[in-house]
Structures are given as structure tokens and as C-alpha cells.
Structure 1
Amino acid sequence: MNHAPAAAPLAADAAADAAAAEAGAPLVLELEPGEHWWGGTVKDAVQMPFGATSAYGVDLAVPRHDPAWDSAEDSSQAAPLLVSTHGRVVASPRPFAFRFAEGRLEVDGTDVAVLRGGSTLRDGFRAASARLFPPAGRTPARRLFAAPQYNTWIETPLVPSEESVLAYARRILDAGLEPGTIFIDDNWAPDFGTWHFDRGRFPDPRRLIATLADWGFDVMLWVVPFISPDSAAFRECERDGLLVRDADGRTAVRRWWNGFSALLDLSNPAAVDWFTRQLDALVEIGVAGFKFDAGDVRDYRADDRVAEPCEPVDMSEAWARLGLRYAHNEYRACWRMGGQPLGQRLRDKPPTWDDAGLGSLVPEMLAQGLLGHPYVCPDMVGGGEVGAMGAMGDRQAADQEFFVRYAQIAALSPMIQFSVNPARALDAEHLAAVKDALAVRAEHLPRILALVDEAAVTGEPVVRPMSYHEAGYESVTDQFFLGPDVLVAPVLERGATTRALQVPPGTWHAPDGTAHEGPATVEVPVGLTTLPRLTRAAAGTAPR
């Protein structure tokens, strides 16, 4: 493993002084020739890196309206941070709005700092990490990386039971897949906020957890910060002042994907204590940890009445802080919290080949890492949008090639998670291709685990943009570095028979031992089981 040099200190950027706006006005920075930027919101990563030709803007504090919902669609995973390929950093402790247009970056917010941490993307990121979101020195639970994850969501949405969970786990083992962490998703409890097993569907939780442990599985449970109205938990929390109130002082009841619920006031230590007491009781019976779903900025209002003055982004951050209590954790929405040992799953993906689905995975993982979250999972293999994923259970209707290509990307990501059982969705040929991808992951697992451990100390991403290590590749976002010495170029097009690889300077070895000299663009043949990857010659032996 190549270890990075010590991070350069961040210093005030001279260009910022020249571009400083009057008090209260936006800051305008002229982009330097060839300068590109990452950051803001993971949701828009397919538009990154932003550069001189970009026309893009977003206000990180304001959710964007989603016409499909009576609500808004926010950034899900975001931070007030921008890092450039020239080592410049724009950051603030508070959300800001920013816009790229006509060769300029305009930033409107409070306490915005423009700093420089060197001359490269890696310089800037490491300097920002060291000063602004230093790594915590620990990682999420090692099992989340060392073995596959399995989520009941697509197989039994909203109706999990002891019987269905055991059957799901048994089918995984019968298919010859390795046991790992199993997530029991939405609706395992009788109500939102009543965090104990529904005894009608889970008559003996201890027995269930013990059985799964005997089979080699850790167990995680899905939780949200919502409280079902007209429940005992609602009445208790309302009585004790643990719920968010709206601007009129009434208990706020908000619409979300499961209907209407009240929200815990996470600025209130008593509410946090009430919630964690329930989770700790589950840990006592063998639960390893929790999938902390929701926590989106869109669910809160700037004029909400809460225990401590805060903005909606602060509620999202408070939700993320709860996960620090449990090594087995997962988030899909997060504000800031870079450097912390939190697993970050990308937002739910549709089973499509375009930039909403497969094409978004690499850019979003890269963006997540550059916001300080190295422990990323590219959603569930095949996608997590339950409605769109219904066809995956029908081998005749399922896009089996898509499932394989998704699994190949996840195989060399920090974490890999399944929901649809591959043995149910795939024929023998495509199931074998998924198992081949898992074998590639097993081969590279020592490298992945070493990078995970290193991230806890250096803060560096596990998967990295090309420009993180090589200048001149700023626009290449369909391939990535796994650490500094392995280049991964997953197949992203249906029916592809070749894949173009952008090979950096030096000698690189393909899995079959073929040497490629860079810089060059190399066209390689690909079949269903091909996961194109190259290893830097100086790094040692070539991959299988």
C-alpha cells in the first residue's frame, strides 16, 4: 500500500482576496485555466467536475421540489464544501448557494472561506480533511466491508416476517453465496417509533437472531426518526415535548414515503435518549446495528419550533450523529459529518443504464469520497427502487446483463449489498458471472480493507477520481482508482463487446498479464464476466 505524504496546511487563497465581494454580497472567484471542482451534493455528481464550461447552481439549504411528491427533493448527501483540481477549497460551517457559469464560481453564504491546500485535487482534499473534517481514527464495522450485505427490502417490501427473513437467508446460502450482514428493512416493528419486533410476525426475535448468527449472518434493523400518529409512542413523546412542532406551535405531522408521521426533535437530548434506549435494548438481544433511513433535510422546516435553535440541515446532521453509537450503521441521507465512521449507501437507484441508474454509480461514489465519506456503498445491486425492481424477480423480464454489470461495479467498491437474491433473478450463466465478480472482490479484499483502515487515519477516499492521482484526466468519471495503484473501468453499456480504458502514464498490467504503457487510450474486448482493471507495475503482482 502506498501511503500519502502528510497533508499540506490550508492557507487563505490570494485569489480570494482579490475577488472578495462587499459584505453581504456573493463571493465571485475566477476559475483558473484547467481548474475543475468537486463537491456540494452527491445527487448531482454526474455533472461533476464543474469547470469553465459548466452551467450549474444549487442552494444546499433549500430542498428542491419533486412534482411526484407533496414534498421536496433535497440533496440527500451533501456538505458545504468544494475542492478543486488546483488544490483550492471553498468551505463553510453553514450551507451556502453556489453557481458555476462563464468561467466563474459564485458563492453566497455566511462564513465562507476560500483556501488553498496545495496544487492538486489530492492536496486540496487532504488539507481540507485534516483541518475541516479530520478522520475519526475508526471505521464502521469491518464485517460491512469484509462480506456481502443483504437487504430484505426488494424481496419482502413492507411485510418482513421471521419466516420470510429466514427463507431469504436460506436461499442466499443455498445459492452458494457467502453470508454477511442481513438488513431487516421497513415494517419489522408494529409502528414507526415503537422500536421492538412486531410479535405477530416475529414471535421470537432472540431465536431469529441466534439462528441467523449460526448461519453466519449479523443482523441490522431499519429505523427512521418518525413517530406514527395515534400510537402510544406518539402520545408519550408529545407529552414529554420530544417532537418537532410547526410554526404555529402544533406537533408537526409531515408526509413521507410511508404516509404521515410526527418527527423526533433531535435537537433535544431527551428525545435522543428516548430513541437510543430502544435501540440499545435491541442490541442487548443480539442486533448488530441499524440502517438509519430518512433524516432528509426536506422533512424539516426553517420555522419549526425545536428545543435548540437550528436549521433543517442541523436535524439531518443530528440524525447522522446517532449512528456513531453503533459500528454497524448505514445512511442514505447525511449533512456534513465527513471523516466519521458512517457507512453511506447511495440513494435508491432505478434499474436503468442511464445517468439515473448505472451511469450514476461511479460519479456519485467519487463525489461521496470527496465530501469526506470513504465508506460508500453503490446502493443495492440492481437498484433499490422497489417499484422499478419488481421485474427482477422474473428471469424472463429481468435485465440480467444489467444486474451483472451493477454487481461488477459494487465488487470493487468499499461495500457490496444485494437485495434481490441473484439466484432468483438470474439464470445459470448470469449467476456465475455475479459469482465471478464476487471472486474478483475476494482477490482484492485485502487491498480494500487496507484502504478502509487507511481512510480512518488519512481521510482519503477508497475509490478516487482519475484526477486525484493523475493530472489531465479531470473529465474521466466512468472509471476510478481503487487506492493509487488499481484502475477500474467497469462496463457501462448494454451489449458492449469492447471498453475504452484511459491509461495513465507508466506501465499497467491487465488481469491476463498484458502490459499497457500510458498515457494511452486502449480498447479492450469484454465479455459478460469481464471487469476491466489494471494494476500499476510498481505496485507488485498483477491481479488475476
Structure 2
Amino acid sequence: MSKLKELRSTLTDTVTLPIQEGEYWYGGCVMDGPVYPFTRGADYRLDMINLNSPNQVAPSFLSTHGRAIWSNEPFSLRVVGDNMEIITRSPLFVDDSGKNLKDAQQTLAKHVFALGKMPPAEFFRMAQWNDWIELLYKQNQADVLKYAHGIVDHGFPAGIIMIDDLWAEYYGRWAFSVRKFPDAPAMVKELHNLGFKVMVWVCPFITPDTPEFHYLRDHHMLTENSSGAPVIRQWWNGYGALLDLSNPDTRKWLSDALHKVEHDTGVDGFKFDAGDPQFYDDNDVTRMHLTKTEGSQLWGQFGLNFPYNEYRVNFKNQGAPLVNRLQDKSFEWGTGGLSELIPDTLTQGLLGYYYNCPDMIGGGEYLSFLGKKGDLDQELIVRSAQCAALMAMMQFSVAPWRVLDKKHLDLCIAAAKLHTQYADYILALAQNAAKTGEPITRPMVYDYPETPLQFVKTQFMLGDKLLVAPVLEKGATTKTVYFPAGQWQSINDAADVVTGSGEQTVPADLSTLPAYKKID
């Protein structure tokens, strides 16, 4: 029986929720994955009221004791001793009817997630390719085609290809630059013939003093200040005006522009970037008086008009058929790099962002690659590919054939083909997620609550049948894995069957991704 409570903080008192003995909490912020789960005495706080996160965030938390908390509005939470202290501007809902993490997550699915739809199957079936690390801001037809042919010529599956920032002349003129792309329809047709779906990058910013800016300004379709002038906001590519997506005329203008790109060139969809809460302000003047988190939320909702979509930032919109990628990671093994892929990905799944893609293989933070051409850690790229291979999606950017020798290149090709090998299983999990809200990539404790804490960030379950334990440390040739009760057969050697429960150190040379399917 559901035990749903509605709590509120006042102008002087917080909501205080005791953390139970032995209880561990997940939630809120995807980039906080490495510090989840937290428990009594943790040094943890998350302020969603003054939010500044470049990844997915939701006003939801859930615990290993089956408790779930959520709100319709952002709140601020911190751990103080044995309690969570919460400041909230709207009702905080608490459901303590569950017994474990899975129960708590399913409570959120019931009350919060938008169930019923999923992104197109191509996102799950084959590796994705984003040309960002290869081309950066020098997008052009010849090099896009060179990149695409390199993919198939070296034996990789085609999949979805994303043409990143500056394919257009400037922000707001959403049409291929004829200087850079002299025949965009022919290019897209060639990419389709190679087996790719094609997506291009867009953002909610408008370059000032352009015809598009003048039109949007004169029709009050931009975010304004209190004097009625468009706000000009600094972002990573300079300064830009910001679309007011709470205005239906603005939504129609952008939707018409993007559908025209699809119609004129054959492009299949869009990578929706920016939209970070930091680019909005609660004092901005918009048609519907949006807060900064509502600005991010609405940017995410806009993508529902386009089945082929991708987001790095989202607020709420849990369970929606939106592809959510992790924030760009550094080309590193530890903090900020490979070690964060698993805990961040698991947090995405629990919060309802389960149509998720780990960051680009090796990392999408381009500054990590500058000055390292020909001097990249090839082992790190292989282990990054293996880590993503049995997640819901995987995405390459740096061209493996450019930076790897044949040995390491072959291992990356094998990782991409492994993902394709399990495509039907992954797609079935995505279909199940659309119906139930259950994550595709899951923490061990989701189906096996007895899993020791030290294994919850170093291995995961793909569905309830496949245990995956990627190698996350440089030079490692073994991996200590926790096996729940039952029989677990290695996907690499059918004769290798491990009986759980318990931990076991298994061989894991560079050619091996430790992964085991449950056979009883």
C-alpha cells in the first residue's frame, strides 16, 4: 500500500527527513554520480533552486530502503548529520512504501516519468559517431564525408552520424553554409547510402545584429530584460540573444526552420546543445515568466518534436523519448574521466534518463586532446570503448583509425561490434523502459540489493541478465567482480561459469571486457 506524504518547508523551517541506519540515497544530479549513494554523515548538498549543472538534473531522490522523494519544482537538499534538510518552494512528496531501490525507482516511474514512447531503434542498435573531436569548429562537407568513409572503410558499423557546431553560417540561420557545404543534399544522400542517419547541432542562441535577430527582436520572440530589450548573454561561443521558447511564435519559428533543414537536405534530426540553467536568469522577461530551470526544461521539451534528438542538459523531462548524453569527460582515467562513466550513467537510469549515451569514446572535452595528436593513451581509448559497448548506447568522436595502431584499432572495432551483437537485447530493454520506467543500464543493487557497496560504481547490470565489469585502471590485467547468487557464464568463453554469490578476480587483459550472462 502506498504511503504518500506531502511536506512543505516554511519561510523559517526546512523539511527534515531522517536517514535510516544502513540507508543509501541516489538522485538529483547526474554529475554527482561519483558521490552517490550517500548516507548518514555525508558531506553532500545539491541546490537546484540556484542550479548550475551542465548535465541532467531532476528534483527526485531515491533510497535503498525503498523511499522516494520528489517535487514539481527545484529544491535544495543537504545532509546534516543523520538527516536530510530540504528547502522547497512547493510540496515535497515522500513515498516510503517500498523495500528496496527498485521499489523506490518504480515509485518515481509511476508518479513522475512520462512513459509510453522511446527514441528510434537506430540509437540503440549501432554505435553513434560525432565529428566534434575531429573537426571542432571547422565543419565542412569534404571532411564530414572523409570521416564517414573512414568509419565504414575501417570496418565499423555505420550508425548515426552527428555534424557538430558551425555547420551553418551563424547561430539562428539554421541552414547549411554553402561555403562549407556546397551541396548539402548530395552529402546527406551519400551518408544515407553509406548506412548513416544524419543529425546536426543546434542551440537556443541567436547571433546579434543578424536578420534573424532583428526579426525575432521586433516580434518579441527573444528573452528580454525589464526594459523590453533582448538580453545578450555570454556563453562558450561568445555572446548571443536567447530564444523565448515559452512564446508559441518562437517555437513555431524554430520548428519551421529545423523542419525546413530536414525537408531541403534530408537530415534526420538534431543535437540540441546549450540550454544550460546558467544561461537563463530568474529575472529574465519571458512570455510565461520562466525560471532558469524552466528555461532548461522547455528546451528539452522542444526536442520532442524531433524523434532523432540528443541532449546534454535537461531539467525534469524524465522518461521522455529524449536521448540524454553525459557531460563531456576529460581524456583521463580517473576523476573527470573514465572512472565517472559508470556512476553517472547509473544515476541517469535511476532518475528516468535511461535512453542514455555515455560521453564520446575517450572523452568529448576537446581541450584534453589539444597538443596530443600522435601521443594519446591508446589503452584508455580501448577501455573507454569497452566500458560503453554494453551500455544502452555508445558514441565515438575521435577517429580511432587516426590515433590507434592496428592492435588497438581492432579492439575498438570489436567493442563496436559487440554492441551491435547485443542490439536486440538492448532494444528490448529500451522498449521495456518505455512501458515500465525500469532502467536499461542498472546499478547492481537494483536487482541484487545484497551487492557490497564497493562494487556499485565499478560494475553494472545491462537489464537483469548481463553483468558487466569494465576495466577502469590503466595497466590492469585482472578485475575483481562481485557475482550475485546463481550461475554466471562469461560472454567471452562459454566454458567459464562462475557460481555466486561472492567476489572473484577474473582475467581481463586488454582484449577482454569482463561480462557474464545469468544462466539459471
Give your verdict on TM over 0.5.
yes
Name the counterpart of 1:524. 506
Q: What corresponds to 1:311 in structure 2?
A: 291
Query: 2:269 maps to which residue?
Result: 289
Q: Choose the corresponding residue for 1:200, options 179, 183, 191.
A: 179
Structure-2 separation of matches of 1:290 and 1:125: 30
Report the Cα distance in structure 1 between the residues aligned to 2:2 and 2:377, rounded to whole angstroms. 48
Cα shift at 1:263? 0.2
The residue type paired with residue 12 of structure 1 is L
Q: Give the match's secondary structure for 2:393.
A: coil
Alignment of 1:119-134 (within 5 A): 119-134=99-114
Q: Deviations over 1:201-251 (max 9, x none)?
A: 111111111111111111101000000011111111001101111244331
TM-score normalised according to structure 1 size: 0.92
Cα gap change, 1:392/1:379 in structure 2, threshold over 3 Å: closer, same or farther? farther
Equivalent residue runs for 1:135-150 within 5 Å? 135=115, 137-150=116-129
Provide the residue aligned with 2:321 in structure 1: 341
What secondary structure does 2:23 align onto?
coil
TM-superposed deviation, 1:117: 3.9
**Structure 1 pair 427–297 and aligned structure 2 pair: CA distance change class (3 A):** same
- 1:430 corresponds in structure 2 to 408
Q: Which residue of 1 aligns with 2:430?
A: 452
SS at match of 1:390: coil
Is 1:491 aligned to 2:479, yes or no? Answer: no
Identify the match of residue 244 of structure 1 among 200, 223, 227.
Answer: 223
1:55 to 37, 40, 43: 43
Q: State how far apart, in whole Å, the 2-side matches of 1:82 and 1:498 are.
A: 34
> Aligned residue for 2:67?
88
Instruction: Return the alpha-carbon distance in structure 2 between the equivalents of residues 344 and 203 of structure 1.
Output: 32
- Matched position secondary structure for 1:249: coil
Give distance in 2, aligned partners of 1:452 and 1:157. Answer: 31
Question: SS at 1:179's partner residue?
Answer: coil
Contact 1:117–1:128 (CA under 8 A) maintained in structure 2: no
How far 1:22 sits from its partner (Å)?
Answer: 6.0
RMSD: 1.5
SS in structure 1 of the partner of residue 298 of structure 2 = helix
Answer yes or no: is 1:264 the counterpart of 2:256: no
Give the SS at the match of 2:282: coil
Counterpart AA for 1:417: Q
In 2, are the aligned partners of 1:392 and 1:425 still within 8 Å (CA)? no
Asked whether the equivalents of residues 95 and 107 of structure 2 are also in contact (C-alpha less than 8 Å), the reply is no
* Contact 1:62-1:74 within 8 A present in 2 as well: no
Deviation at residue 438 of structure 1 after TM alignment = 2.1
Q: How far off its partner does 1:356 sit?
A: 0.8
The aligned residue for residue 83 of structure 2 is 104
Q: What SS does the aligned partner of 1:290 have? A: strand
Structure 1 equivalent of residue 23 of structure 2: 35
Q: Is the 8 A contact 1:10 1:128 kept in 2?
A: no
Deviation at 1:55, TM superposition (A): 1.4
Distance 2:75 2:201 in 1: 31
Identify which of 291, 294, 301 aligns with 2:281.
Answer: 301
In 2, the alpha carbon distance for the partners of 1:131 and 1:10 equals: 11
Q: Counterpart of 1:68?
A: none
Name the CA distance, whole Å, in 1 between partners of 2:112 and 2:396.
Answer: 34
1:440 aligned residue? 418
Confirm whether residue 481 of structure 1 aligns to residue 469 of structure 2. Answer: no
Does residue 183 in structure 1 map to residue 162 in structure 2? yes
Residue 152 of structure 1, aligned match among 128, 131, 137:
131
Q: Is 2:3 the partner of 1:11?
A: yes
Number of matched pairs: 514
TM-score (norm 2): 0.96
> What is the letter of the counterpart of residue 327 of structure 2?
R
> Secondary structure of the equivalent of 1:387?
helix
- CA distance in 1 between counterparts of 2:10 and 2:212 reads 51
How far does the alpha carbon of each residue in 1:356-381 deviate from its partner, in whole angstroms, 9 at most, with x for none? Answer: 10011000000011111111111110
Partner of 1:542: none
Distance 2:11 2:223 in 1: 34
**Matching residue's letter, 1:30:** P
8 A contact 2:125–2:419 mirrored in 1? no
Cα drift, residue 514 of structure 1: 1.8
- SS of the residue 2:134 aligns to: coil
Q: 1:432 to 1:392 in 2, by over 3 A?
A: farther
Letter of the 2:511 counterpart: T
Structure 1 gaps, min length 5: 1-8, 64-72, 539-544
Cα distance between partner residues in 2 of 1:416 and 1:465: 18
> 1:391, 1:534 → 2: CA distance?
39
Q: Which residue of 2 aligns with 1:353?
A: 333
Residue 329 of structure 1 is matched in structure 2 by 309
How far, CA to CA, are the matches of 1:525 and 1:24 in structure 2?
A: 57
Q: Which residue of 2 aligns with 1:411?
A: 389
Change in CA separation of 1:439 and 1:75 when aligned onto 2, cut-off 3 Å: closer
The 1-side partners of 2:316 and 2:169 are apart by: 32
Query: C-alpha distance in 2, partners of 1:146/1:273?
Result: 32
Secondary structure of the 2:438 match is: coil
1:6 maps to none
Match of 1:464 in 2: 442
**Maintained 8 Å contact 2:54/2:327:** no
